[in-house]
Amino acid sequence: MLDMLGIEWLIARLDLIHPIVSGNKLYKLYFYIQDALATKKNILVTKGGAYSNHLVASAYYAQLNGLKSIGLVRGEKAAQQSHTLQQCETWGMQLAYFSREDYPQINEDKIQEYISFDKDQCFFIPEGGYGITGTKGASLIMEAISSLNPNYITIAVGTGCTLSGLLYNKNSQAKIIAVPVLKGFHDLEKNMTELLESQTPLNFEVFNDYHFGGYAKKNHELLQFMNTFYVENNIPTDFVYTGKMIYAIWDKIKSGYFTNGSKIISIHTGGLQGNLSLPDGTLVF
Ligand SMILES: *Cc1c(COP(=O)(O)O)cnc(C)c1O
């Protein structure tokens, strides 16, 4: 069908950077880690939920650079620890748990109240790697793919930080397509204005109808699609982010959204470890 429509659809496989760690999270962390090393701070402190791809990436990247890491986790410690948090500990991250009421109050100025380490040794990274530093890191993704001269670049969106990275350097002609995985995500424009320090660019569109009920929500149709996509293309996706984005693009290709002769690059941000929370046998990969 792609041939018939003259559409070239490429997938940028950031998932191949590491089997467990989300590729886009490593890009977002890049300049944070550089800053930590430059300022000779040796403990990375960050925060996230029990299924946070960002926490896993931080644990991994810290260890790779010889840094200690501390994860401040939203919610009490569960009897059955998530795969995500188990993986964080494997990479040496120390975890501290906070009630849902306390969690939002934790910030850089207050970390000393929660940890016994000297604050001067600690480098704080905001939740999700969100921030201008994260955006600059994500802009490196664009450098890696823009020479392929796509007409469209598509990306799954959580906070919009990775998306903003794609729009950070304004020299690409490609239209950027964002697929939010949250339902009714109203802060996207606000986040983008903050991260890009300018108005939302024009060469950009949001496909809002592919969240499948909300963050980490899924249905049979999505899982079925992920299985079929894997069987046909040998590319695994995750049900929280990339499965929804790829589904959206396929749906829009079928409905004729993309003009004949287009070259589309969809960015596979990774996140495959999230599939471990599905019951055995749900996916064929
Ligand atoms: C976090 C994440 C995203 C979304 O990134 P944002 O910068 O928060 O928009 C997309 N895909 C995967 C696999 C992720 O882990």
The pocket around ligand 1, CB under 6 angstroms, is made up of 22, 24-25, 53, 128, 156-163, 241-242, 269-271
In the chain, which residues fall in CATH 3.40.50.1100?
A: 2-19+132-277, 41-129
Does the pLDDT at position 145 exceed 90? yes
Q: Which atom of ligand 1 is nearest to the CA of 161?
A: 7
- pLDDT tens readout for residues 98-129: 999 999 999 888 888 878 888 899 999 999 99
Above pLDDT 90, what percent of the chain? 85
* Sign of the four-CA dihedral 196, 200, 202, 208: positive
Top CATH class of 41-129 equals alpha beta
- Which two tokens mark 41? 């701070």
Residue 128 · residue 27 · CB < 8 Å? no
**Residue 255: which pLDDT band, with cuts at 50, 70 and 90?**
very high
- pLDDT tens readout for residues 187-204: 899 999 999 988 777 789
- CA of 24 from ligand 1 middle (Å) equals 7
pTM of the model: 0.95
Top CATH class of 2-19+132-277 equals alpha beta
- CA of 118 from ligand 1 middle (Å) equals 31
- Which two tokens mark 125? 């990274």
- CA of 133 from ligand 1 middle (Å) equals 15
- pLDDT tens readout for residues 267-283: 999 999 999 999 999 99
Q: What is the mean pLDDT of residues 163-183?
A: 92
Q: Name the residue type at position 85.
A: L
Query: Mean pLDDT over all residues of the chain?
Result: 94
How far apart CA 72 and CA 127 sit, in angstroms, is 9
- CA of 6 from ligand 1 middle (Å) equals 30
Q: Name the residue type at position 183.
A: K
How far apart CA 187 and CA 216 sit, in angstroms, is 18
